[in-house]
Chain A
Amino acid sequence: MLKNWSRRRVTSAFHTFWMLALVLGIISVAAAVIDDRSITRLVTDFMTLCVLVIALQSFIGNSGIISFGHVAFFGIGAYSAALLTITPKIKAIALPALPVYIQQMQVSFTVAVLMGACLSLLVAIITGLALSRMAEGAMAMATLALLVMLHSIFANWEQVTRGTIGVYGIPRNITLFNTWICAAVVGGAALLFKASPTGLCLQASRDDPLATGTLGVSVAKTRFAGWVLSAILMGAGGAMWAQNNLAFGPNQFYYAETFNLLSMLVIGGICSVTGAIAGVAVVTLVGELLRGLENGLSIGTWVTLPELPGIVQMSIACLIIVVLIIRPQGMLGLNELSDFVYKRRMTKKNT
């Protein structure tokens, strides 16, 4: 099977990988040097979002099928991390109905992330078997159904999730270092998948599913693989996110968050892992710049802008429409970081 792996694509994925890991590493180191609490928080948020959006990219970008359901995997990862990392003392009070062995368990950051990924994998396998056979439009609807279904479970399964009240008391296990590692590993996994034979088949089905079939590729199996892989990454991202946010409720895994993650992906470019990261950066930046406006702002002594709730979300929504009109494929289009370097080398060789 290794014969089907193209050295060209793996090499260029590797180039992109180390460049991205380097950029993210520099950001982490810079934050560590500045050592300011709000900056550190900003960077850990950024890395967590990178993981989530890259996870989303690995399915949507390669398959060209929209998924509203990935936030459900995000939620699964987050809840499983919460249940596994909250101290037994708090669990005894807040979640008395939990089975004893879960109540007494308390695991490390890494184990929580891996468990989040595993649980997500399980749900992805069950749902993926049904989903991957559907036509594209039906599949999009089914992912939305998945989101609603899991939200109703999160909001109503009170013994485990505390329903709409939500869980609290998750230890802040996140550090600049471990978020960077997670972002790099997840980015690497997404790039490797994109370069793999299965990833390429999935991209082919994005362009033309019928022609992909006539080349001997089972489109359903390929979509299943992409679905499962990205769910694993999403679950891991959810587990990270929980240990960064410390308390959350079911409504954080719904419409608003879906829009938030999708907007980053669309602005950056759905087909590109580099684009996913760029999208997170741009949206985070716009968010930081406009956050002041949201709470009202005074310019000098005379001008006081009123509070504008939702101005951030609205600006981002406008940005999406503008990007789609000017650059339908998003900022990065179909390119990864290495394409800029690699292409130049190719043209040099030819001349």
Chain B
Amino acid sequence: MTIEVAVQQLINALSLGSLYALLALGLGMVYSVLGMLNFAYGELLTVCGYTMFLLILIGVPFPVAGLVGLGMAIGVSLLIERLVFRPLRGASFISLLFASFAASVIIQNLIKQLISKRPKVIPVPEVFDQMINIGPFQINVLSLIILLVGLVTLAGLVAFLQKTRWGLAIRAAAEDFEVTRLMGAKANRVIALSFALSGFVAGVAGVLWLSRRGAVSPTMGFIPILKAFIAIVIGGLGSLKGAVMGGFLLAFIEVALMVMLPTRAVPFTDAFALMIVVVILYMRPEGLISIKTGS
């Protein structure tokens, strides 16, 4: 492998990693505040995608469509919280998981009925496919955009969590679910905020995801939630730092496999990646960052 290819793959891995890290952070945010996995999280990307699809269809430019899609993701995230999870406050982990699973199926079917069962193509700006030369390296524009947007969003979120009063409240709640319960009336607002942030992150990730994929389908949310789920588990469930690290680790594993596996084995890349993840978990059942030891 030449140094050029290596650098390109590194950029690929970093770009995919920042996308996965975003996805994981959005899912991990709600997990760490409420102790529940929101299985409908993937559908936030779907909602964002279809909003963009419809807007672009009527001639709205891509960036504007992206912003509206982002707004829709936040709105739907809040709606799910209000309609599904608030009535179930205090229910067991498994009940909440089932409920979010059901919510995800409802959204998928609504899209099937209102829009279409078939995948639809989204025209992506042409610049995304171009390559630019930085020194001797040829780099895909989209990878760079994803990397940049991903890192800026991550940095923004970290700043929000570290510097603002509400960010502090979320972190306190994330330290210990009990704290959330003790917050009383304020808890509802902190929880809603965590869902809004989760929707925001899903929206950003959704726009990036679509730019890569160039198509929407009703079940498109499955892969993102899967990646996010894997990332937060490898990172150590409940740790926000772990979620980000898990996202990058997963991306590096995937890109490395893609480069190293022989062509015949390429269809099995996902299977191999998952196998590696399971091995990591076998050796570190608590994930990279264990909440219990707090290291």
Contacts and interface: CB of A to CB of B under 8 A. Distances in A.
B284 to A, nearest CB: 9
Nearest to A266: B98
Interface stretch (B121-129, B135-143, B177-185, B275-283): B275-283
A64 B270 contact: no
B271 A149 contact: yes
Contact of A318 (B98, B106, B113, B226): B106
Interface in A230-289: 255, 259, 262-263, 266, 270
B103 A145 contact: no
Contacts of A64: 92, 94
Contact of B98 (A137, A156, A320): A320
B267 interface: yes
B259 interface: no
Report the contact-size class of chain A (Cβ under 8 Å from the partner).
35 or more
B13 to A, nearest CB: 20
Contacts of B112: 309-310
Given A138-B233, A153-B271, A325 B285 contact: no
> Which 3 A/B pairs are nearest by Cβ-Cβ distance?
A310-B109, A317-B102, A156-B267
Interface stretch (A43-51, A127-135, A184-192): A127-135
Contacts of A320: 98-99, 101-102
7 contacts: A130-B279, A130-B281, A138-B233, A156-B268, A255-B219, A310-B113, A316-B105
B281 A138 contact: yes
B84 interface: yes
A262 B98 contact: yes
Interface in B76-131: 84, 87-88, 91-95, 97-99, 101-103, 105-106, 108-110, 112-113, 117
Contacts of A142: 233, 278, 281
Interface string B272-295: 001101110110011100000000
A313 B102 CA distance: 9
A153 B126 CA distance: 35
A185 B229 CA distance: 36
Given A149-B270, A255-B219, 18 more contacts: A64-B94, A131-B278, A134-B282, A138-B233, A138-B237, A138-B285, A141-B229, A141-B230, A141-B281, A142-B281, A145-B230, A148-B226, A148-B271, A155-B267, A262-B101, A309-B112, A317-B109, A321-B103
A133 B285 contact: yes
Contacts of B117: 309
A250 to B, nearest CB: 12
A152 B271 contact: yes
A290 interface: no
Contacts of A138: 233, 237, 281, 285-287
Contacts of B108: 310
Contacts of B105: 259, 313-314, 316-317
A142 B230 CA distance: 8
| Binding site secondary structure of chain B | helix
A267 B294 CA distance: 38
B222 interface: yes
A142 B95 CA distance: 19
Given A148-B270, A321-B99, A314 B233 contact: no
A315 to B, nearest CB: 9
Interface in B182-241: 219, 222, 226, 229-230, 233, 237
A134 B102 contact: no
Contacts of A174: none
B213 to A, nearest CB: 18
A66 interface: yes
Contact of A328 (B91, B109, B226, B285): B91
B34 to A, nearest CB: 13
B110 A324 contact: no
A138 B282 CA distance: 10
A155 B271 CA distance: 11
Contacts of B286: 135, 138
A92 B105 CA distance: 40
A324 B222 contact: no
A337 interface: no
Interface string A107-140: 0000000000000000000000011011111101
Contacts of B98: 66, 262, 266, 320, 324
Given A135-B237, A137-B37, A309 B226 contact: no
Given A259-B105, A262-B101, A309-B113, A152 B282 contact: no
A252 B146 CA distance: 34
Contacts of B233: 137-138, 141-142
A130 B268 contact: no
A325 B274 contact: no
A264 to B, nearest CB: 12
B8 to A, nearest CB: 26
B268 A153 contact: yes
Given A156-B267, A317-B109, A66 B274 contact: no
B102 A263 contact: yes
A29 interface: no
Contacts of A310: 108-109, 112-113
A102 interface: no
Given A152-B267, A314-B109, A133 B230 contact: no
B36 to A, nearest CB: 10
